[in-house]
A and B are shown apart, each in its own frame.
Chain A
Amino acid sequence: MAIGRNRWLPHVVLLLGVFIFAFPIYLAFVGSSHDASTIARGDMPLTIGPHLVENYQQALVSPVGTRVRATPALTMMRNSLYMALAIVVGKIAISLLSAFAVVFFEFPGRMFFFWMIFITLMLPVEVRMIPTYAVVSNLGMVDTFAGLTIPLIASATATLLFRQHFLTIPDELVDASQIDGAGAMRFFWSVLLPLSRNNVAALFVIMFIYGWNQYLWPLIVTTGRGRETIVIGIVRMIGTGEAQTDWQLIMAVAVLALLPPVAIIILMERWFVKGLVDAEK
């Protein structure tokens, strides 16, 4: 249906959109390739400068400039990676098990437990930050890896998604494995898990981005600099945001902070779209 359609207008609008999204990232990349004084003078050109390699080397290993003293980006990226992976694996594991219980068994309290999980969908960590911190503190988990990750792994979203998926598994498959003498856990490992690969991949992408990008919770729970994630570290680096700071290092760390989640979204776009659209149903 090509009635009255303008041929080039959509492309112009879309390219403008792409430009508005890409330009800030490009400028950050340019910023990470010049030296501090070029940037501080305010005459940074729009092309890549000569200090790219040395800036990234410095940012990764020892980001100590004239004004900024930060944890090496390598350490911060490793902290972010461990945190994100622990959240992803934790969320997927406990959600697979609880969805399995709710869908494939009949037991007293089944719907009660399901609603109990469901209702947590409504409470973001931000609103319960202080009492949750008090719990973590009473358990002696402040500034530990467990305190950083475990409060974030309960996930109603993942449980609901797996439940939806499990409900579509035909009864015949369950019958067949019961006739073959498989118990519940054997069925879980050999039939259910392989059939859930797509959902696991989709959730992996969304939850990894969620985990990597966490801000408020790591901000209050981690106190030692050695445990700092890269998203926290980059904000600490800007301080009050003066002109005379090591912007070249800050921009290098910013690029390093956004690279892993952006790479995952681009490489796994199909799973990401599926996961996002399914998770919100």
Chain B
Amino acid sequence: MRRRTIFRNKLLPYLLLIPQLAVTIIFFFYPAAQALYQSMLFEDPFGLRTQFIWFENFQTVLSSPLYLEAARVTLVFSVAVTLGAMAPALLLAVMADQVIRGAAGYRTLIVWPYAIAPAVAAVLMLFIFHPTIGQVGQGLRALGVPWDYRIHGGQALFLVIFVSAWKQVSYNFLFFLAGLQSIPKTIVEAAAIDGASPARRFWTVVFPLLSPTTFFLLVVNIIYAFFDTFGVIHAQTQGGPGRATTTLMYRLYRDGWVNLDLGGSSAQSVLLMTAVIALTVIQFRYIERRVHY
């Protein structure tokens, strides 16, 4: 899109772009290129010798049982977080859309958890789910559940999923509510006059009209589950017990930052970058298509 009227300075636009471009090149493009280059290097543990080895690091990473295990954990984790954050948000949004009085008040009361940092949410939940001092943890044990997320991998995974989803509901709620409020009431009323039950009206009329929002949120939530939940896992379980909560992002942190495996972690970075770029491209293609009809 172009404007009709423009300013005719020759040098000024470049000067205006310099700050943004400098930061982008130094801290985005150069490191990304560096990751790509290092992902094809082999460096011995003492850093004395480096060798260009093409895609061997990728082969090593993709055939490593640790990495495949992290990929499995990530799959379970991100599917559960996405569902756990979207389904309650949709339910709450549908309910808030029906409330005539007090809808704005409910919105405020549901939206604010968005402001809590994932790591802080993790600390709060640790206090509640702690097996001996937490209210919920004690309650579970009183009910006969052998609750201790520090020992049982499945429970630890459940806990990080719960916290990550809990924090993301408010974000999804906002978008679902905005989507619902943009659906013309006359369409829903027409279906009601035709005798469709409330549930049928929702699934055959409202839900399909909401699909652009749903699809957009699906992508956003998957990216959230991949990256932004690092703080939750790092604060609550450190990837454990065992490797029960080690996701691909946590694996990358371990290998790159703690184990200092430069080639392997760069290959992991490149794989994750590819995944994010693929997701973003899918999203933009979809949104463009939506604009056309």
Is B10 a contact partner of A107 (Cβ separation < 8 A)?
yes
Residues of A within 8 A of B91 (CB): 13
Closest to A209 in B: B115
**Separation of A10 and B109 alpha carbons in the complex (Å):** 15
**Which residues of A (140-155) have their CB < 8 Å from a CB of B?**
150-151, 153-154
**Separation of A274 and B96 alpha carbons in the complex (Å):** 18
Stretch at the interface among A57-65, A71-79, A116-124, A194-202: A116-124
Stretch at the interface among B24-32, B47-55, B63-71: B24-32
Instruction: Pick the most buried of A28, A42, A105, A130: most chain B CB atoms within 10 A of its CB.
Output: A130
**Separation of A5 and B95 alpha carbons in the complex (Å):** 11
Is B133 a contact partner of A247 (Cβ separation < 8 A)?
yes
| A130 partner, pick from B1, B2, B5, B266, beta carbons under 8 A | B266
Is B12 a contact partner of A105 (Cβ separation < 8 A)?
yes
Q: Is the interface of A mostly helix, strand, loop or mixed?
A: helix
* B contacts with A, residue count (CB < 8 A): 101
| A154 partner, pick from B4, B27, B92, B280, beta carbons under 8 A | B27
User: Is B73 interfacial (CB 8 A cutoff)?
Assistant: no
User: Is A83 interfacial (CB 8 A cutoff)?
Assistant: no
Residues of B within 8 A of A150 (CB): 23, 27
**Separation of A18 and B105 alpha carbons in the complex (Å):** 11
Is A241 a contact partner of B10 (Cβ separation < 8 A)?
no
| B34 partner, pick from A1, A97, A134, A280, beta carbons under 8 A | A134
**Separation of A203 and B167 alpha carbons in the complex (Å):** 21
The answer to whether residues A243 and B132 also contact, given A21-B109, A132-B27, A258-B120 and a CB cut-off of 8 A, is yes
Question: B-contacting residues of A (Cβ < 8 Å)?
Answer: 1, 3-5, 9-11, 13-14, 17-18, 20-22, 24-25, 27-28, 31, 39-42, 44, 46, 93-95, 97-98, 100-107, 110, 113, 116-117, 120-124, 126-132, 134-136, 150-151, 153-154, 159, 167, 171, 174-175, 178, 183-185, 187, 209, 212-213, 215-216, 219-220, 231-232, 234-235, 238, 241, 243, 247, 250-251, 254, 257-258, 261-262, 264-266, 269, 272-273, 276-277, 280
With A24-B124, A94-B23 given, name 18 new contacts (CB 8 A): A18-B109, A39-B133, A40-B133, A44-B135, A113-B17, A116-B24, A117-B20, A117-B21, A126-B227, A127-B252, A150-B27, A215-B234, A216-B253, A231-B117, A273-B111, A277-B174, A280-B216, A280-B220
